[in-house]
Amino acid sequence: MENHHTYIKRALELARSGMESGDGGPFGVVIVKGDEVIAEGHNCVLSSNDPTAHAEVVAIRKACDFLGTYQLDGCVIYSSCEPCPMCLGAIYWARPKAVYYVCTREDAARGEFDDEFIYNEINMSIEDRSIPFIHISIEKADELFLRWLKKSDRKSY
């Protein structure tokens, strides 16, 4: 566990320093491939006016840029906190081999972050959600996906 602890402590340090510099909430991430740290990130929602600039998203984007691919094959993500649903989704799309985390969604809720609230909203039926999601039916719109499947140069992601 020695290396894991080194990386996770760095993630916690990034969380602390990012918060103190006013970039955003106390969240930090380190992404490792083999023995190499390929990306670090901290929450930059406030400094970048970007609600998607969570530590995980920031670090995943940097790691993919570094590797020149949209997949984190063989990579390990170390996060100061259990990912929110947005970041969990980002992790699934990036497909690393494992995620280590320290604080939990309940800890984040005690810091007045919406992680747990959003996890609860996901499981509500659409009509009960706090943001209205309204379905519009348009005939044959789903043919987009048939066209996608038939695309001769299609690259899956």
64 binds a copy of itself (CB under 8 A): yes
Whether 106 is catalytic is no
Nearer Cβ to a copy of itself (35/157): 157
Residue with tokens 């280590």: 100
Q: How many residues bind to a copy of itself according to rule CB under 8 A?
A: 87
Judged by CB under 8 A, which of 32, 38, 39, 45 binds a copy of itself? 45
Residues 80-139 within binding reach of a copy of itself (CB under 8 A): 80, 82, 84-104, 107-108, 110-114, 117-119, 121-123, 131-138
- Sketch the per residue contact string, 10 through 29, with a copy of itself: x for CB under 8 A, - otherwise: --x--xx--x--x-xxx---
What is residue 1's DSSP assignment?
Answer: -
Task: Name the nearest CA neighbour of 98 among 80, 116, 119, 73.
Answer: 73
55 binds a copy of itself (CB under 8 A): no
> Hey, what are 69's tokens?
């691919």
Residues 6+ apart with CB under 8 A from 76: 7, 31, 32, 33, 96, 97, 98, 99, 100
- Say which amino acid occupies 14: L
Catalytic residue list? 56
